[in-house]
Chains A and B, each alone.
Chain A
Amino acid sequence: MNILEMTKISEEFGGLRAVDNVSLSVLPREILGIIGPNGAGKTTLFNIITGIYVPTEGQLLFKERRIDGLAPHDIARLGIARTFQNIRLFGKLSVLDNVRVGRYGVTRSGFWSGLLRLPGGRREEKETELRAIELLELVGLADKRHEYAQYLAYGEQRRLEIVRALALDPSLLLLDEPGAGMNAGEKEELMAFVRSIRDQLELTIILVEHDMNLVMNICERIAVLNYGRKIAEGTPAQVKNDEQVIQSYLGAGV
């Protein structure tokens, strides 16, 4: 069973087809890379999967359930979490509160139970906090949990964003250029980290990335987009040797 099944998805913005007839299946617990030149439609695809955009055509199944047309918060609650190309943390919330908000979709306590400090709500708050600290320990940020997110170093912010996404207990994690702005050493660490959370948390991961080295190293399968179309799909080796991919994207010398 595929965890995510995209069938003939298209997205049109005023006559421009940002995503054009893309079909793609994602297997449970795989790391799938999506590559392509700027404007190829990679982030648009993420926005479709998370419900920010409703596809103009096509259908989208998550765990055999139709999700195109659902509200973003409902899709998130089904277990799809993401990070952003340009980090979008809640800068004026503490590190811990960022992760707590990340858990919003899997917690329940309402307005009144929070306001009146009802026991159920308080227990949930406590559990949320423990889980958040546990996740922060995973990336070595537990000690900084009371700092404002905006004062973290760049690499720490990247890690916090992943942890905030993990707080939703997702089964599918979308990483939008997780390695952007990192040096080679940091990218090594990132790859190890992505693999380890996939194994520990039994995640399926789709990542959009520009760094070919990173993608080829970490992904088990790669899909290549160009002008909104999928032009190739396969293992890193297959994609690397694909004529069309070399011509339109990789160019000579890769």
Chain B
Amino acid sequence: MFWEQLLNGLTLGSSYALIALGYTMVYGIIQLINFAHGEVYMFGAFVGLFLVTAGANIFVALLGAMAFCMLLGMLIERVAYRPLRGKSTRLSALISAIGVSIFLSTLMVLYRGPNTTRYPAVLGDSTFQLGSLQVSTLQIIILVIAALLMVVLELAIKKTRVGKAMRACSQDLEASKLMGVNVNRIISLTFATGSALAAAGGVMVGIYYNAVWPYMGTMAGLKAFAAAVLGGIGSVPGAMIGGLSLGVLEIMGIAYLSSSYKDAIAFAILILVLIIRPQGLLGQKLSKKV
């Protein structure tokens, strides 16, 4: 029982982690909570659905959704945030983000209606016994894909020229410019990367829970945000750990307490973290720049 719940928790948590990465990367670089990020995830789920319905293989659908959301993320940054950058307060950008979030979910309602759509059964889910453990192949696939994406992300940030520039920008935007780094381009690529990961999360959650709806991004986005804060906002490994922990805690809460507390758990954790350790598990203590 416990081990099965743990596996369920990790599966859910890996989707939180994929979304949380986008929050944390964007925050790390421009100190903006991109509240439209949950809607990017929702769009990812729908694009995946569209492609699967059109007969695409699940991996093609996954890549297609990621590519689409990369462009969507870059577009959002270009239209809703860049014009405000350097010219107005961080609060304006935050309000702009909330505006984009409402716009995107409403757009999807206009297009699809507000109801839930079921995902066609693309991956015949089967279960197998692993010792006393009942494991679903779908869970394994989701966990493997999520792990793979996170490894690629980690390598990209640590090893590539652009990834290093991303880390430099998150530490000192102005100094980075003077190294010849086109900061606008790096910010754009950060949105693209985070959005692609969220899209992957959207497609996998859509398949796993067999349901997508236009407002699915709201709650998932908020919880992933809580996960990013738990891990330490701005920290990439923090988002991974925060996402996984939140998923596990939520599932354990459902299993051992009551399913009615499902959504309360994430936010209770968010509040506790903010009180006890505001910088999160792996975050740095905030010190004002002089």
Q: Which of B40-66 contact A (CB under 8 A)?
A: none
With beta carbons under 8 angstroms apart, the residue of B163, B165, B178 that contacts A81 is B178
A33 within 8 A of B: no
Docked Cα-Cα span, A91 to B159, in Å, equals: 17
Segment among B3-11, B125-133, B166-174 that sits at the interface with chain A: B166-174
Q: Which of B144-169 contact A (CB under 8 A)?
A: 152, 156, 159-165, 167-168
B164 with A100: CB separation less than 8 A = yes
Docked Cα-Cα span, A100 to B179, in Å, equals: 10
With beta carbons under 8 angstroms apart, the residue of B159, B161, B164, B182 that contacts A73 is B182
B161 with A128: CB separation less than 8 A = yes
With beta carbons under 8 angstroms apart, the residue of A71, A81, A93, A102 that contacts B167 is A93
Q: Which of A67-90 contact B (CB under 8 A)?
A: 71-73, 76-77, 81-82, 84, 86, 88, 90
Q: Which of A100-159 contact B (CB under 8 A)?
A: 100-107, 109-111, 114-115, 121, 124-125, 128
A114 with B179: CB separation less than 8 A = no
A144 CB to nearest chain B CB (Å): 18
A92 within 8 A of B: yes
Docked Cα-Cα span, A248 to B262, in Å, equals: 71
Question: Which residues of chain A are near B189, meaning CB under 8 Å?
Answer: 111
Query: Interface size bucket, B side?
Result: 20 to 34
Question: Which residues of chain B are near A104, meaning CB under 8 Å?
Answer: 161, 164-165, 168, 176, 179-181
- Given the known interface contacts A114-B163, A128-B161, the answer about A105 and B179 at a Cβ–Cβ threshold of 8 Å is yes
Q: Which of A24-72 contact B (CB under 8 A)?
A: 50-52, 71-72
A97 within 8 A of B: yes
A73 with B167: CB separation less than 8 A = no
Docked Cα-Cα span, A114 to B162, in Å, equals: 7
B156 with A92: CB separation less than 8 A = no
Docked Cα-Cα span, A88 to B159, in Å, equals: 22
With beta carbons under 8 angstroms apart, the residue of A90, A92, A106 that contacts B180 is A106
A168 with B180: CB separation less than 8 A = yes
- Given the known interface contacts A88-B172, A111-B189, A114-B156, the answer about A93 and B164 at a Cβ–Cβ threshold of 8 Å is yes
B175 with A111: CB separation less than 8 A = no
A101 with B172: CB separation less than 8 A = no
A229 within 8 A of B: no
- Given the known interface contacts A111-B189, A114-B160, A114-B161, the answer about A101 and B168 at a Cβ–Cβ threshold of 8 Å is yes
B177 within 8 A of A: yes
B178 with A76: CB separation less than 8 A = yes
Docked Cα-Cα span, A73 to B178, in Å, equals: 6
B254 within 8 A of A: no
Question: Which residues of chain A are near B160, meaning CB under 8 Å?
Answer: 109, 111, 114-115, 121, 125
- Given the known interface contacts A93-B168, A115-B152, the answer about A76 and B179 at a Cβ–Cβ threshold of 8 Å is yes
A221 within 8 A of B: no
With beta carbons under 8 angstroms apart, the residue of B152, B156, B165, B290 that contacts A101 is B165
A164 within 8 A of B: yes
Question: Which residues of chain A are near B182, meaning CB under 8 Å?
Answer: 71, 73
B165 with A90: CB separation less than 8 A = no
A170 CB to nearest chain B CB (Å): 10
Docked Cα-Cα span, A155 to B255, in Å, equals: 57
Docked Cα-Cα span, A84 to B289, in Å, equals: 15
Which of chain B's residues has its CB closest to A79's CB?
Answer: B180
A76 with B177: CB separation less than 8 A = yes
Which of chain A's residues has its CB closest to B181's CB?
Answer: A104
B211 within 8 A of A: no
B181 with A84: CB separation less than 8 A = no
Listed residue (B156, B161, B171) with the most chain A CB atoms within 10 angstroms of its CB: B161
Docked Cα-Cα span, A153 to B168, in Å, equals: 20
Docked Cα-Cα span, A88 to B168, in Å, equals: 11
Docked Cα-Cα span, A88 to B142, in Å, equals: 42
Contact with A along B180-222 (1 / 0, CB 8 A): 1111000001000000000000000000000000000000000
B178 with A72: CB separation less than 8 A = yes
A91 with B171: CB separation less than 8 A = yes
Docked Cα-Cα span, A73 to B189, in Å, equals: 17
B172 with A92: CB separation less than 8 A = no
Question: Which residues of chain A are near B164, meaning CB under 8 Å?
Answer: 93, 97, 100-101, 104
- Given the known interface contacts A115-B152, A121-B161, the answer about A84 and B175 at a Cβ–Cβ threshold of 8 Å is yes
4 closest A-B pairs by CB: A105-B180, A114-B160, A72-B177, A76-B180
Contacts A72-B178, A115-B160 known; 8 new A-B pairs at CB < 8 A: A52-B178, A73-B181, A88-B172, A88-B174, A90-B167, A101-B165, A102-B179, A110-B162
Interface residues of B (CB under 8 A from A): 152, 156, 159-165, 167-168, 171-172, 174-183, 189, 290
Question: What are 10 sample pairs from A and B whose C-beta atoms fall under 8 A apart?
Answer: A71-B177, A73-B178, A76-B180, A90-B171, A93-B167, A93-B168, A97-B164, A101-B164, A114-B162, A164-B179
